[in-house]
Structure 1
């Protein structure tokens, strides 16, 4: 569809395509990397108690309650924390605040597909940096002097999506230290499932911003809360963009629930460890069926079967009432991204795949 009322920018946009949200209830949903477990009971109770007449008031425009919780949890200063309406909004403000440069933005050619969408929306030049054949990100490829020259900005998901592969903290530091001329953003949506966080490096490098979300490991995808950790000058840049766009991005209930979820470390540890245990068991079961997959440090597995077409497998699973994510993109069109569900859901997935392979 087109319209004479659209601006040229709107006509040229290639919007991000999120994973399917089915209307049917009797579907095993392993396609959008949501948590198979519910949020912290303490977070739910805090939000129930906050449903009162105070909702007539505007929320805190600085989301101080969440910032204090993040500050205490991650051992950073209050001034180092920025909060937004999901990590996608935090990332959108990040692109606007730091990546309008004379040199192109760099990110892996196989990574979060929202990155080129943001570049199209904000008119940011970018250069995809190829990952290796086995989907590794090479830090040397992001350093000045590589084929692309000095960067105007860098963003790397760690662990990477949709591959699930992660960089070590030393490898991340090599990228950050080697690019003092620009902001380096580490997108840590999945870091709580086994990877090393770069948050400790933010006190050492003024150009480093780390972005996290409550959607995955804290099971609050429906609440839309994300945050960033960085130097006060980077946080001030994000605030300038935020306050030029929407001064109140996080509503009162979301702020209260998010803070309670961050503070409930027992529930967080219990559920994330359960996901990692199921992930490793599912990985072993898929390999027994002949699947190949990079080692995942996320809440999903990125797998291919050398003898079966990925699109046909995804369609076959749908007929069994199981949704997985298939990307029709070069280099990865024979892979399925499979979110980690409960043990029961993953057992049904393995059973269905066994039948399809047979």
Structure 2
């Protein structure tokens, strides 16, 4: 019976490996997943108690949409709530790119852009970043010709670099008929905000989330922001109750009154800057960052470093493909930086840092 059913699965899906979420991580200090600085536990407990009374009813999103529009400076009718930025990616990419279409992105970047394009049956052109991790605008413009959609991130993950406003403006101006999806998952860490540009560029669509800077990845609450006409069309793809009542209630509360948000943000970015400074002092090639994570190069020793840190209860992200030999570390505050350095520094003293690959240069 299974042999009769499997051939009916769409061909585009047959060669795709499901995304495997990590497990067994509770006993570790998790500096590998870009989880943001967590809010006060007391506040969360209060909100969850209040949300419990709403679990007997289907959720409503009117207040969540309103508060998100005010908070992000989005146009009225320009907000679509989604179950984390991942659902936003899947819906937007699936709306514009399908079999016979082509999506443009960059490399290295968040792997799920290509994953969702493949699910939709679209081809992908990935333009390599410039050696300093900046956007190669001319190459992106050339690749965008005839493409159904362009997907970029600012700041980019894992390179931690923002898009230059002039580059985004030129891309939007020279390809006005081409949807540009900009993932601003980490934008709050660097103060960048292109949402006001939607009034000028109706082809600009932006993703935001409460997972990173707000420290609520388990809530699964994000937003697609765009021109009201575009959002109205995308809303037809969204499940009627795609966010839980808890996500809608807690998300609304945090948008309305997360009073220590800026302090947590500042603590995380200061801790990341301290980590970068100490890595550079130790002779480790580390790239500049505008968010709460950074990348550095250890070459062939990267795997050994990640294993040694894991043995001491610290998880870091061992990168691959274009960034083989690189490690990404995220920090939520000074304690993370101190714990990481206390484990990493003794390991490093037994080794000599390797030179940077010719394909990249420090920025």
Q: Give me the TM-score of the superposition, normalised by structure 2.
A: 0.89
The answer for the alignment partner of 2:71 in structure 1 is 73
The answer for the alignment partner of 2:306 in structure 1 is 314
The DSSP-based 3-state class of the residue aligned with 2:323 is coil
Contact 2:318/2:326 (8 A) holds in 1: yes
Return the offset for 1:152.
1.7
| Structure 2 Cα separation of the partners of residues 141 and 112 of structure 1 | 19
The answer for the alignment partner of 1:135 in structure 2 is 133
| Structure 2 Cα separation of the partners of residues 172 and 148 of structure 1 | 13
Contact 2:144/2:150 (8 A) holds in 1: no
The answer for the alignment partner of 2:354 in structure 1 is none
Q: CA RMSD in A?
A: 2.0
Matched, 1:48 2:49: yes
Contact 1:33/1:216 (8 A) holds in 2: yes
Return the offset for 1:321.
1.3
Check 1:173–1:147 CA distance in 2 against 1; reply closer, same or farther (3 A cut): closer
| Structure 1 Cα separation of the partners of residues 101 and 12 of structure 2 | 21
Contact 2:267/2:334 (8 A) holds in 1: no
Match of 2:189 among 193, 203, 210: 193
Return the offset for 1:158.
0.6
In the TM superposition, what are the counterparts of 1:228-239 in structure 2 within 5 Å?
228-239=224-235
The answer for the alignment partner of 1:11 in structure 2 is 14
| Structure 2 Cα separation of the partners of residues 138 and 74 of structure 1 | 28
Return the offset for 1:310.
1.1
Check 1:136–1:211 CA distance in 2 against 1; reply closer, same or farther (3 A cut): same
The DSSP-based 3-state class of the residue aligned with 1:70 is helix
Contact 1:42/1:264 (8 A) holds in 2: no
The DSSP-based 3-state class of the residue aligned with 2:260 is helix
Matched, 1:272 2:268: no
Matched, 1:348 2:344: no
Return the offset for 1:327.
2.1
Unaligned runs of 5+ in 2: 350-363
Return the offset for 1:22.
2.9
Check 1:296–1:21 CA distance in 2 against 1; reply closer, same or farther (3 A cut): farther
The answer for the alignment partner of 1:305 in structure 2 is 298
The total of aligned residue pairs comes to 344
Check 1:304–1:137 CA distance in 2 against 1; reply closer, same or farther (3 A cut): same
The answer for the alignment partner of 2:223 in structure 1 is 227
The answer for the alignment partner of 2:124 in structure 1 is 126
Deviations 1:299-354 (A, max 9, x none): 21111136x6211111111112110011231x201110101133122112112111
Match of 1:338 among 329, 337, 343: 329
Contact 2:81/2:221 (8 A) holds in 1: yes
The answer for the alignment partner of 2:174 in structure 1 is 178
Check 1:284–1:21 CA distance in 2 against 1; reply closer, same or farther (3 A cut): farther
> Once structures 1 and 2 are overlaid, which stretch shifts more, 218-227 or 6-15?
6-15
Return the offset for 1:266.
2.6
| Structure 1 Cα separation of the partners of residues 115 and 161 of structure 2 | 22
Return the offset for 1:24.
4.2
The answer for the alignment partner of 1:281 in structure 2 is 274
Return the offset for 1:182.
1.3
The answer for the alignment partner of 1:34 in structure 2 is 35
Deviations 1:125-161 (A, max 9, x none): 2111111122211222222xx2563322101011000
Match of 2:288 among 291, 295, 308: 295
In the TM superposition, what are the counterparts of 1:222-261 in structure 2 within 5 Å?
222-242=218-238, 246-261=239-254
> Once structures 1 and 2 are overlaid, which stretch shifts more, 262-271 or 86-95?
262-271
Check 1:24–1:210 CA distance in 2 against 1; reply closer, same or farther (3 A cut): closer
| Structure 1 Cα separation of the partners of residues 66 and 254 of structure 2 | 13
Contact 1:314/1:324 (8 A) holds in 2: yes
Contact 1:183/1:207 (8 A) holds in 2: yes
> Once structures 1 and 2 are overlaid, which stretch shifts more, 170-179 or 119-128?
170-179
The DSSP-based 3-state class of the residue aligned with 1:309 is helix
Return the offset for 1:293.
2.2
The DSSP-based 3-state class of the residue aligned with 1:50 is helix
Unaligned runs of 5+ in 1: none
The answer for the alignment partner of 2:58 in structure 1 is 58
